[in-house]
């Protein structure tokens, strides 16, 4: 059996008296996208920093390909995208990507070629030689993705990558991440946008109170909202059905009975329901 590209066992990290991560286990496999889900303050960003080799754990161990991970080697194989762009905004996108390419050991010509390739990939060509300070929040997120891809990483770690992106960019992001995974990389995405996350992930890890949890059972059944023609919105009926096939059969039955349906909508995704089943605190 092929070992995960990256895995962690028993990771913990505290900052003074504050315990950000108490115990985290995770396995990231080649060709798969994993979602990291949890409330604010659950320890997700701290976990991502440890997985990226940017923050040393207090305890626990990281493994790359089944062997103990060397932080320097791990960073060379990893792409890291924080939730805030956080780089030299007086530079142009091209200069930023060239600088990161050079930091990863590329010569100037190769780094420049890669920078232009990535700017085209994330649709920022028109801003190639303009200061990054003029980019919108969503454009900076796309530049952040390009920066994370400079070294053609085998391990891609993303913290709220779709934050601030417009709908088209979010759709393109999902397609890009799926293509990256299809080429053999592993992708870990931390996001609060559960509906979108569910459309792209193969696996999911929940995190609450500094602990990771891998779902061991099928999430609670999803719910559908049914409203009849002329019926006020607040009088719509909500029903639980096993899956999409059961929902289709239920709808067909209503249509066969000539029920005047105005709305038949799935209102909770499986991932959303699984999250609610955790009874995680609001933050």
* Residue 223 binned pLDDT confidence (cut-offs 50, 70, 90): confident
Give me the pLDDT at residue 198, please.
Answer: 79
pLDDT over 50 (residue 169): yes
Q: Quick one: 40 exposed, middle or buried, by C-beta within 10 A (0-12, 13-18, 19+)?
A: exposed
Tens digits of per-residue pLDDT, 49-94?
A: 999 999 999 999 999 998 999 999 999 999 999 988 777 888 999 9
Beta strand spans in the chain (E): 6-15, 18-28, 33-37, 59-64, 67-68, 78-81, 155-159, 186-190, 203-208, 211-213, 223-228, 237-240, 261-266
Domain assignment of residue 13, yes or no? yes
Give, in degrees to the nearest 5, the angle at Cα 154 between 180 and 27.
Answer: 100
Domain assignment of residue 120, yes or no? yes
* Residue 218 binned pLDDT confidence (cut-offs 50, 70, 90): very low
Range(s) of the domain holding residue 63: 6-213
User: Number of folded domains in the chain?
Assistant: 2
Domain assignment of residue 38, yes or no? yes
110, 234: one domain: no
208, 227: one domain: no
Average pLDDT, stretch 260-278?
Answer: 78
* Cβ neighbours for 110, distance < 8 A, ≥ 6 positions apart: 101
Give me the pLDDT at residue 268, please.
Answer: 61
135, 243: one domain: no
């Amino acid at each position: 059996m092929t070992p995960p590209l990256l895995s962690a066992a028993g990771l913990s990290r505290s900052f003074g008296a504050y315990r950000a991560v108490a115990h985290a286990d995770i396995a990231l496999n080649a060709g798969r996208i994993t979602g990291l889900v949890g409330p604010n303050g659950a320890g997700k960003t701290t976990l991502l920093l440890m997985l990226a080799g940017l923050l040393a754990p207090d305890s626990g161990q990281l493994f790359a390909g089944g062997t103990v991970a060397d932080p320097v080697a791990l960073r060379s194989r990893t792409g890291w995208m924080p939730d805030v762009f956080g780089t030299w905004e007086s530079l142009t996108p091209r200069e930023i990507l060239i600088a990161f390419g050079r930091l990863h050991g590329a010569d100037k010509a190769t780094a420049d070629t890669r920078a232009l390739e990535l700017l085209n990939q994330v649709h920022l060509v028109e801003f190639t030689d303009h200061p990054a300070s003029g980019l919108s929040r969503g454009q900076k997120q796309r530049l952040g993705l390009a920066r994370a891809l400079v070294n053609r990483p085998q391990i891609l770690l993303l913290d709220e990558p779709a934050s601030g992106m417009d709908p088209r960019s979010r759709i393109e992001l999902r397609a890009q991440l799926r293509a990256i995974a299809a080429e053999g990389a592993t992708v870990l995405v931390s996001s609060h946008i559960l509906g979108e996350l569910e459309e792209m992930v193969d696996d999911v890890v929940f995190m609450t109170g500094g602990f990771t949890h891998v779902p061991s059972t099928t999430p609670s059944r999803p719910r559908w909202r049914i409203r009849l023609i002329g019926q006020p919105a607040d009088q719509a009926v909500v029903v639980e059905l096993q899956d999409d096939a059961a929902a289709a059969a239920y709808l067909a039955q209503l249509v066969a009975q000539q029920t005047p349906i105005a709305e038949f909508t799935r209102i909770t995704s499986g991932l959303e329901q699984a999250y609610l089943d955790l009874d995680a605190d609001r933050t």
